[in-house]
Structure 1
């Protein structure tokens, strides 16, 4: 099986998240691992690249991330939407979601967390400690990043005709929409005259 995962320049890693797709977070610590869906994930900074994710303090994922100090952040596709919904609809304390959903994983490069096959972008993240944290926000530095070269290269998404290879956005109640076609424009002229 051919591996389409190619490294992404860390200074450009946040471009993968700019369009706001749903994400999957993987975590592991002390022999336990988990995966959860997260619609609230966004880029925060460029160099070094940082991301913000929302992980409820009462979840197994949060416990594992706080214990290990790391997590994986992945972008699933439309073709992976059924699994994304299942991951987001079941609690990890009740079942081993990776095993129950027969999700294939591979080893991360720089952190000890399983990464998910079936996605098209992957971030390996180290938590930035924040003793004043009173919210469910987790800030992290991206220490490794790679993307599927069939849909991302030269720091740009290039989704083709295979709609199952597009990122998706979660609305609610099992409803998603897929990332649409791209288009380019030139900036409107700016009137430099004083008014």
Structure 2
């Protein structure tokens, strides 16, 4: 039986909270009947209002071609349970094959963009490209037009990661080595006393 994470909508002003802890990202793109998916290490929140993100997508990739053509992309943050898939979609080009079919990727539709979202992520962002006049570089700026988080782990406006390590976000190092988001701890500000 397939288990799917349950996305809940979150305020756009809080979209940065989905990935300000630095997890690896997956970018989905679509234009017409074409679609693609890739892993991305360089993504970051850029602004609060309107919410913006910066992503690095090599200008020679199939994903970049689809993002340029459509003016939009999906950004999602995978759980450990799909770490192998995250690595796999980054190792092969979508020009040669449909990665969604090849890797049997479970998807669901986004609300405001054509690119699909993938299951088993902690968060998802729907983004529209903001033209910067520097399209010859690998950096893309996108406005977040919709944001969602895993209902089980994003409570009261912040992460409460599961005790199940397979549901936690992942951080990529190199050569197939990942780290999982660890245990939470809290300190009190010495200035609030």
1:122 to 121, 124, 146: 124
C-alpha distance in structure 2 between counterparts of 1:164 and 1:25, whole Å: 20
**What TM-score results when the alignment is normalised by the length of structure 1?**
0.93
C-alpha distance in structure 1 between counterparts of 2:165 and 2:5, whole Å: 20
C-alpha distance in structure 2 between counterparts of 1:119 and 1:146, whole Å: 10
Confirm or deny: 8 A CA contact 2:4 2:119 kept in the other structure. Answer: no
The superposition leaves residues 35-71 of structure 1 with CA deviations (integer Å, 9 ceiling, x where unpaired) of 0000100000011110000000010000000000000
In the alignment, which residue of structure 2 is the partner of 1:72?
74
**1:86-125 correspondence runs (5 A):** 86-125=88-127
In the alignment, which residue of structure 2 is the partner of 1:42?
44
Shift of 1:90: 1.0
Bigger Rg over Cα: 1
SS of equivalent residue, structure 1 residue 180 = coil
1:52 to 48, 51, 54: 54
Shift of 1:189: 3.4
In the alignment, which residue of structure 2 is the partner of 1:168?
170
SS of equivalent residue, structure 1 residue 91 = coil
SS of equivalent residue, structure 1 residue 150 = coil
- Structure 2 unaligned runs (5+)? none
The superposition leaves residues 130-159 of structure 1 with CA deviations (integer Å, 9 ceiling, x where unpaired) of 223442000000000111111112111111
Residue 84 (structure 2) pairs with residue 82 (structure 1): yes
**What TM-score results when the alignment is normalised by the length of structure 2?**
0.94
In the alignment, which residue of structure 2 is the partner of 1:193?
none
> How many pairs does the alignment contain?
190
Runs of 4 or more consecutive aligned structure 1 residues displaced over 3 Å after TM superposition: none
Quick one: structure 1 residues 2 and 63, their matched pair in 2 at CA, closer, same or farther if it must change by over 3 Å? Answer: closer
Confirm or deny: 8 A CA contact 2:126 2:144 kept in the other structure. Answer: yes
